[in-house]
Amino acid sequence: MNASERSNGRCDISGPRSIFLRLNLALFTMSATVRVISLGTLSAHPLWNERGNVRPAHATTTLVVAGKAKILVDPSLPPQALVPRLAERAGVGPDEITHVFLTCLSPIHRRGILAFERAEWLVCEREREAIGVQLIEKIKEAHEAGDADLVQMLGQEIAVIERARPAPDKLAPGVDLFPLPGVTPGLAGLLLPGQRATTLIAGDAVATVEHLAAGQVLTPCFDLEAARESFSEAIEIADWIVCGRDNIVPARG
């Protein structure tokens, strides 16, 4: 990896990358199905030469069905938008969701989480601990500054983290936790191995099809070197990747 690649977050990837495929379908693995409910987007796409806030950012939301488990990943849209979208794309109501899995604790990844009160909320333990510590420090500072509005907002953030439990290594048959730290301290995806193909819901570890094609991680990030390593692991292990701000795409062109 040369100096210019390090400076822009580029990873060393050989071979061409197919960037044209846009799928809106369910992928079937050995024991689970994966269906994109809502496509995410970046507020400004650096690989489209965009700057500033061009559009509202949101994460890709995915439904995984494995046995009796219905796992909703990153409920990013507000409830009034996400609930009808879930019905349109999968014929599923909010009370049927058994688990909500957060690839990270960024607020935009969980705008719609309160629509799923009956579900078990899960996040990687490392992410939960790291972000929880940051928020506790921030709420102490807000108390000292007498900023009541900020204290209230941070209190709501902490309440979500307190309810979210550490995700187990296996969420359901054929659905495994797959740590991908770097963009955030404890970002993690879900790995669904299959007989013919393996699918990885990667979150922001692989942001878009353009990032995948360019071998580039999302920046700025918590730990750039760790993010590069996670990116490389993702494309090595998976045949299909659900990008954090894009669709289901082939890991290798």
Return d(Cα 199, Cα 175) in angstroms, integer: 10
pLDDT at 154: 76
**CB-CB contact of 163 with 128 (8 Å):** no
Return d(Cα 48, Cα 81) in angstroms, integer: 27
Residue 15 domain flag: no
Residue 13 domain flag: no
pLDDT at 138: 77
DSSP code, position 174: T
Structural domain of 104: 31-247
Residue 87 domain flag: yes
Q: What is the CATH number of the domain that holds 39?
A: 3.60.15.10
Residue 174 domain flag: yes
pLDDT at 234: 97
Q: Report how many domains make up the chain.
A: 1
pLDDT at 253: 56
- What is the distance, to the nearest Å, from the Cα of residue 63 to the centroid of all Cα atoms in its chain? 12
pLDDT of the chain, 253 residues: tens digit per residue: 443 343 344 444 444 333 333 344 455 544 789 999 999 999 999 999 998 889 999 999 999 999 999 999 999 999 999 999 999 999 999 999 999 999 999 999 999 999 999 999 999 999 999 987 777 787 787 777 887 887 787 778 888 888 999 999 999 999 999 999 999 999 999 999 987 899 999 999 999 999 999 999 999 999 999 999 999 999 999 999 999 999 999 997 5
Residue 252 domain flag: no
Residue 22 domain flag: no
What DSSP string describes 216-238?
B--SS-S-HHHHHHHHHHHHHH-
Residue 7 domain flag: no
pLDDT at 9: 47
Report the relative pairing of strands 120-123 and 170-172 from DSSP bridges: unpaired
Residue 6 domain flag: no
